[in-house]
Amino acid sequence: MKVGLTGIHFLGSLIGRGTGWASGSDGIILITQDGGMTWLAQETGTKEHLMALDFPNANNGWAVGWQGTIIHTQDGGKTWRPRNYSGIQKPRPPIMANAAFY
């Protein structure tokens, strides 16, 4: 499998040992439990590009991505659920009006 990865997080910054996650293109989240020697894909329920992720502990994690995507897990990534945010408009792509190129 070939994917573009843009975010990585290891618990306690233990790169090279312990549990970590990586996020990236097409909604991919990968998990390692052996410091990065092997990785398994987790089902996220989104196809949006995931730019970053963070886990304050082994169970609770958040990932954010394009089109205002926010997903959350409470079981170490076994299940991911979309989360809404209030008070902030969902980002929209820029619109170019009356643009002229010569």
Q: pLDDT tens for residues 86-98? A: 655 555 555 544 4
Query: Quick check: helix, strand or coil at residue 29?
Result: strand
- Which residues pair with residue 29 across a beta bridge? 23, 42
pLDDT of residue 100: 45
pLDDT of residue 6: 87
Domain boundaries, the chain: 5-82
Q: Check: pTM over 0.75? Answer yes or no.
A: yes
Q: pLDDT tens for residues 54-65? A: 999 999 999 999
Cβ neighbours of residue 52 closer than 8 Å, sequence gap 6 or more: 6, 7, 23, 63, 64
